[in-house]
Structure 1
């Protein structure tokens, strides 16, 4: 008689966590320590020219490789390099996370099982609890799960939380991988291209604790991010889709609204969901 539990540790052999990192060793350690899976977890840290270099922490059940880039070239290049490296190593799935964020237990197993059952899904996110640096809950992101709804609203709201995503590596490379053409919006650029040929979906359950870091890309490169998003919206604009019009108006508003004011609005609108 075959014991099914005996094969469980092999279940994540084709999955690797992909984490770009620039300095912030303590955040790297915190994030990797949050992974709790029944099978060994493979991790590729792309060290984007950190000083001092990022060091792989010694953590039980994690097999960690650090791929160091000689110079800091930005998250877009780091992610592109990471995807290519994982493909060369034979992995099928890349599970994104950023230093400072925390994974919910069994996140990888749940996402992989869904993607195995839905081969046309190239990217799968999860609901995200936004927290402060101290871990205090701020608000919950509960985007739609259905691929068609995500495709309709892709420019109106953040339908796919990038650090919560599991990506099908061959699909990412088939559409051109991450690229630097839309800096600070490399995730949306990739998702739009993926949705031209595949589906993207969400598991409607908590998968990630996202740290709101006011020194992060969304804050420090905000105007560049909004500019890149607007360029993407105009390139893929569908006048028959009302959500494209709403998304255009929303991002023009973001362009003139101070970052802290925008975060306060989000907290007011989304805070009631934080307790769910």
Structure 2
């Protein structure tokens, strides 16, 4: 489907950046946008209740961009989804590119993604591969994406395989599915991808167009990986929608109280029939690691695999 034409003085794409206490890295992030080969873009930066010098860094960069192209909004500190929705509400551009306040866009990033979205009007979202950098900006690794939209779809129904700071999406389509959902904070991107898949295609450029910074404060750096359980719940919600079942009813409070219990209850009610054996087994492992009893779940998982003839997976259940 073609993008709506931007209004006069509205850029084709806006870069959406949530920032909370990001003064140490934000300048480098904005410098990477100043170096973009594609110039018709705006920036909507949500200063999400920062207590450091983030606001001062923003102010120092406003004049370095064309007039009106760097817009700084104030967030209430209610989490990343709330901050992103605050930014989205002010964006008129047909395309939105995400970037975090500690990551860097390669000079060709916007140009390449806009071209890909133009060539694939049925794509609702496009990600890229990333170079992983450490706190000092040194490249230490890289992460790849699936090579086709078909493979991306398959992988997304197993796990999140796209990197949030790399994505570019069609604003009207994200608005259509309701934007970001706060009770999935930590896996808010994965929940969004799964909802978009119900309306169109998602793909990725197999180029490293973002430098993704790893540091100890990240949600995904938590060794106990509670965000993975939130992602598990997002996947169960997507499978429920796919099969005409009401989404599990839960909120951020119940999840924060005990995500393992919420996940266990949902799996016990619906079983593992819609999950791949490998995904189901890893889900059960995460529930066990969180010290939630899973004997009934192990029974369901063993029975489902044994009945289907998945003897190897059934045997692995005994080790969970």
TM-score, reference length from structure 1: 0.79
Which residue does 2:146 correspond to in 1?
Answer: 144
Could you tell which deviates more after superposition, 149-158 or 102-111? Answer: 149-158
Aligned mates of 2:205, 2:163 — CA distance in 1: 11
Give 1:76's match in structure 2, choosing from 61, 81, 103.
81
Aligned mates of 2:195, 2:156 — CA distance in 1: 11
Which residue does 1:46 correspond to in 2?
Answer: 46
Could you tell which deviates more after superposition, 37-46 or 187-196? Answer: 37-46
Aligned mates of 2:111, 2:104 — CA distance in 1: 16
Secondary structure of 1:197's counterpart equals: coil
Pairwise CA distance, 1:201: 0.3
Pairwise CA distance, 1:51: 1.9
Aligned mates of 1:124, 1:17 — CA distance in 2: 14
Q: CA RMSD in A?
A: 2.6
Is the alpha carbon distance of 1:76 and 1:47 closer, same or farther for their aligned partners in structure 2, counting shifts above 3 Å?
same
Pairwise CA distance, 1:207: 0.8
Matched, 1:171 2:161: no
Pairwise CA distance, 1:157: 4.2
Contact 1:130–1:140 (CA under 8 A) maintained in structure 2: yes
Aligned mates of 1:101, 1:248 — CA distance in 2: 33
Pairwise CA distance, 1:103: 0.6
What count of residue pairs does the alignment treat as equivalent? 243
Contact 1:152–1:241 (CA under 8 A) maintained in structure 2: no
Is the alpha carbon distance of 1:79 and 1:252 closer, same or farther for their aligned partners in structure 2, counting shifts above 3 Å?
farther
Secondary structure of 1:68's counterpart equals: strand
Which residue does 1:32 correspond to in 2?
Answer: 30
Pairwise CA distance, 1:253: 4.7
Aligned mates of 1:131, 1:178 — CA distance in 2: 27
Q: Deviations over 1:75-126 (max 9, x none)?
A: 010111111211xxx2111100101111111211111111122111111001
Is the alpha carbon distance of 1:180 and 1:202 closer, same or farther for their aligned partners in structure 2, counting shifts above 3 Å?
same
Contact 2:127–2:166 (CA under 8 A) maintained in structure 1: yes
Which residue does 1:110 correspond to in 2?
Answer: 112
Contact 2:47–2:72 (CA under 8 A) maintained in structure 1: yes
The residue correspondences of 1:1-276 to structure 2 (distance < 5 A) are: 13-35=11-33, 36-52=36-52, 54-55=55-56, 56=58, 57-58=60-61, 60-61=64-65, 63-69=69-75, 71-86=76-91, 90-220=92-222, 223-237=225-239, 244-253=276-285, 256=289
Aligned mates of 2:73, 2:85 — CA distance in 1: 12
Aligned mates of 1:122, 1:116 — CA distance in 2: 11
Could you tell which deviates more after superposition, 103-112 or 228-237? Answer: 228-237
Pairwise CA distance, 1:226: 1.6
Pairwise CA distance, 1:252: 4.8
Aligned mates of 2:144, 2:184 — CA distance in 1: 25
Aligned mates of 1:219, 1:155 — CA distance in 2: 23
TM-score, reference length from structure 2: 0.69
Contact 2:191–2:235 (CA under 8 A) maintained in structure 1: no
Pairwise CA distance, 1:68: 0.8
**Highest relative contact order (Cα 8 Å, sep 6+), 1 or 2?**
1
Q: Deviations over 1:16-75 (max 9, x none)?
A: 110001111121111111122242431110111112452424274563110112x21100
